Amino acid sequence: MIDLYYAPTPNGWKISIMLEECKLDYNVIPVNLGKGDQFKPEFLKISPNNRMPVIVDHDNSFEGEALSIFESGAILMYLGEKTGKFFPQESPKKERVLEWLFWQIGGLGPMAGQVSHFVNYAPNFPGDHSYSEKRYKNEYDRLLGVMNNVLGQREYLAGDYSIADMASFPWITAYKRYEVDLDSFENVRRWFDDIKSRPAVRKGIEVGKESRSFGKGITKEGLKTMFSQDSKSIAEMAKDKE
Ligand SMILES: N[C@@H](CCC(=O)N[C@@H](CS)C(=O)NCC(=O)O)C(=O)O
């Protein structure tokens, strides 16, 4: 059995979608980010970067404990290798998937995450955020252009449907909030509609739906919890852990 430490956000969906696609049994453990569950000592033991998603696979172990994995890309690769699904192991198909998985983890995800921050949360903080918001929106737009080009040549990012698509899809779902005209990226639109219609994807993004907030319901305390951490506060937490 797999425990999934999860909040209903794009990074969480990557894993709920993959677990559904692979028809694996899993147990959802909610991580309330606004309340600071990600900073609790027991969570930091399995996720030292204080971020979800994380999985714990009780059918595998490391140093005498059930195997835990943080970072969505590492989790997707692990589940792909464990099940033999959506992550081919033979070259060069494997490298094609890795290229697009790492493109998502290092590019699309962080850029879309910053767009989300400026759209959903920055208005709660004083100051002029216009340059930063524009910078991230431009970069997100560029990445959509890159995706559109590759999806003009093949059906899915790496050829066949794979963990690279499951990693990227969640970061397109909020395109309306990010003021993107998806129809102007016709290949991305075709790919997006195709993936959205998959039953496992629909099931995956329903997980924990009731606690989704898009930043709106977040309290002042929640904003402080999520956006005022720095190396000093992290060091304090590490001390509390000792
Ligand atoms: N690189 C990480 C990013 C994970 C991430 O940023 N998760 C966010 C939610 S989408 C989180 O846990 N945030 C908690 C916080 O900011 O305190 C991954 O791909 O797993």
* Domain match, 75 and 167 both: no
* Domain match, 31 and 79 both: yes
State the pLDDT at residue 228: 86
Nearest residue by C-alpha to atom 8 in ligand 1: 51
* Domain match, 12 and 61 both: yes
State the pLDDT at residue 214: 62
* Domain match, 161 and 118 both: yes
State the pLDDT at residue 186: 98
Tally the domains of the chain. Answer: 2
* Domain match, 132 and 193 both: yes
* Global confidence as pTM: 0.96
* Domain match, 136 and 190 both: yes
Could you identify the atom of ligand 1 that is nearest to the CA of residue 71?
Answer: 20
Q: Is the separation of the CB atoms in 201 and 20 below 8 Å?
A: yes
Distance between CA atoms of residues 76 and 92, nearest Å: 19
* Domain match, 151 and 180 both: yes
pLDDT band at 242 (very low <50, low <70, confident <90, very high): low
* Domain match, 33 and 106 both: no
Cα 190 to averaged position of ligand 1 atoms, centre (Å): 28
* Domain match, 126 and 193 both: yes
Pocket test for ligand 1, best of 6, 11, 31 (most atoms within 8 A of CB): 11
What's the CATH code of the domain at 56?
3.40.30.10
> Which residues form the pocket of ligand 1, taking CB atoms under 6 Å from any ligand atom?
9, 11, 33, 38, 50-53, 71-72, 105, 226
* Domain match, 129 and 65 both: no
Residues 99-112: tens digit of each pLDDT: 999 999 999 999 99
* pLDDT > 70: percent of the chain: 96
* Domain match, 231 and 139 both: no
State the pLDDT at residue 118: 95
Pocket test for ligand 1, best of 4, 51, 103 (most atoms within 8 A of CB): 51
Task: Please state, rounded to an integer, the average pLDDT across all residues of the chain.
Answer: 94
Look up the domain containing 67 and give its range.
Answer: 2-86+208-241
State the pLDDT at residue 220: 84
Long-range contacts of 43-47 (CB under 8 A, 24+ apart): 43/5, 44/237, 44/238, 44/241, 46/5, 46/70, 47/5
Residues 28-76: tens digit of each pLDDT: 999 999 889 999 999 999 999 999 999 999 999 999 999 999 999 999 9
What's the CATH code of the domain at 122?
1.20.1050.10
Cα 31 to averaged position of ligand 1 atoms, centre (Å): 11
* SS3 assignment, position 59: strand
Q: 234: part of which helix (H) or strand (E)?
A: helix 231-241
Residues 110-166: tens digit of each pLDDT: 999 999 999 999 999 999 999 999 999 999 999 999 999 999 999 999 999 999 999
Closest CA to 54 of 40, 63, 64: 40
Residue 241: pLDDT over 70? no
* Domain match, 109 and 141 both: yes
Most confidently modeled of 23-27, 37-41, 213-217?
23-27
